[in-house]
Chain A
């Protein structure tokens, strides 16, 4: 395994109380593999990624337990200085909002070049050449001229390409993409996802794709981890999960989206709201919204049941869910 997150716990200590954002997450990615982490806002999908990257705001955040093994080393035991060498060079992140993640007063060439001057000790001139190469690689037209331009002079799709270029600069082994196409229009989203998938294949990188879009996941992922209230409720190969979900939350999500290829009747709607992380319900966190909930769900936290050797579900009644 390239990256393995084991029993990760993250809390946020705020004035109003402790928000339990991540409550025992386990997942792993291999080289060349795409893991999609699916969840709604507040499910802990981004916080987990930030902990892996080491960019979690601490305080108020606090990692209260677990291990993050990257190429065998536990990142949580590294000093900040060693951690910084990993970040950017070995693993990189692509953020949702390229406009606010790029520096508005530096040209894109300077920002791309910075990767090489800081991490590789290159001269500014060589770094500039590298920056142009990278821009070509993510298919930004007229890279030579545009390298001098500033982020606001690029369209949304082009900016996201620059983010991808920056992440790829040092050819990291792992890329974490946090909602990389959510802010983009569909036709541009398709261009960007295609590019990302192609580069990933070419460089045999591990990719963690964080998203709430079940359509994007179906298009590119090999495996999916579905998160709810800071836990993974189901993890499985992509084909299995769409064919027959083994957790009522996954099932509800799949049934609640309207489809392009059919005119539906009334949509299935998961009732209620996602829980408040300061006050997660006892037992299974999904029980107040679950159509299958029984007494045991209100008292016992479901363990991760092994559905088969590639698949886990955190539901007491995964068998029933799978069969109906």
Chain B
């Protein structure tokens, strides 16, 4: 296999907690990201899912250099970008662009759409000579499905979905190879979400983009991703191809997460087993010893308290070839199907179901 376009290893971000005003001393740390490894291939989409506070957005920020990692490396085409500065860093950043979650706050209300999309050219003037910029911006508007004549309008004149298209156009302006999209559709209405997802799909083929797609909505991540990583409390607990994760999850957290997602099919409510986790995610300032999921895990034993499970193919699946043999950080990994397989009796007629209490 060719070298991945982006390779992250041992990525850590700790935010220190300090006490005292004059003599600050560190009393702890918010361990937002605590050892993350993954690789992204050219033209591939890697989805990262997890609940709020799991560190997925912090990972995104470190990839585009909005945050400096505490430890670890981010290799872009083999070169560690965390050590770069100045001109070399700028060249790399040109190739890794970001699309933000909230199209209402990520666009400057006092700038016209043309200025917003064209701003990257101010920083990277080598990409487009001055006289050419307006035309380039209009092309970009066209590419994301907006009328090129809107170039002089302001963000407030657009709907949420249109604004997200503007955000995407800005991300594309420098013709990057990698786009980091942090919850790009979660602020949008259902009927508009589909438009934006289709747009991202189309752009990926058109510009040969690699996506790191971060979201909490597991259905959307499955739709768009080739591979999926599940994060919990600053670490990836399971990673694999989309079918491996969704149809053959082996980590209990992934299983619980998948089983909790409401499926838009009322027939499924009768024959679906749900794993309802107790309690809340522990605070990242005080991460449990051993496996960080053990405080909510129904399988937890003494070993989980003592030994940190590594993200690797679990021993029991190592000799198998099959969808269950993928990286999963659990001492007691076992396969469990929690998402009902496709079309299980969705066509089956069953009568007299109405009026029953909620199932």
Contacts and interface: CB of A to CB of B under 8 A. Distances in A.
Interface of A: 32, 34, 40-41, 155, 157-158, 185-191, 193-194, 197, 200-201, 212-222, 237-240, 242, 252-254, 256-264, 266-271, 273-274, 310
B21 to A, nearest CB: 24
B355 A260 contact: no
Contacts of A240: 354
Among A197, A214, A219, A270, find the residue whose CB has the most chain B CB atoms closer than 10 A.
Answer: A219
A267 B276 contact: no
Contacts of B341: 261
Contacts of B51: 185-188
A40 B261 contact: no
Interface of B: 51-52, 159, 161-162, 189-195, 197-198, 201, 216, 218-220, 222-224, 242-243, 246, 256-269, 274, 276-278, 280-281, 339-342, 353-359
B276 A191 contact: yes
B243 A263 contact: yes
B189 A222 contact: no
B356 A222 contact: yes
Contact of A253 (B191, B223, B259): B191
Given A222-B356, A222-B358, A260-B261, A269 B190 contact: no
Among B265, B274, B342, find the residue whose CB has the most chain A CB atoms closer than 10 A.
Answer: B265
Given A157-B280, A191-B276, A274-B189, A222 B354 contact: yes
A187 B296 CA distance: 11
Given A219-B262, A239-B266, A267 B189 contact: no
Given A214-B264, A218-B266, A218-B268, A263 B223 contact: yes
A257 B262 contact: no
A262 B342 contact: yes
A189 B256 CA distance: 12
Contacts of A273: 159, 161-162, 192
A218 B190 contact: no
Nearest to A185: B51
Contacts of A194: 276
Nearest to A43: B189
Given A218-B269, A222-B356, A254-B264, A260 B246 contact: yes
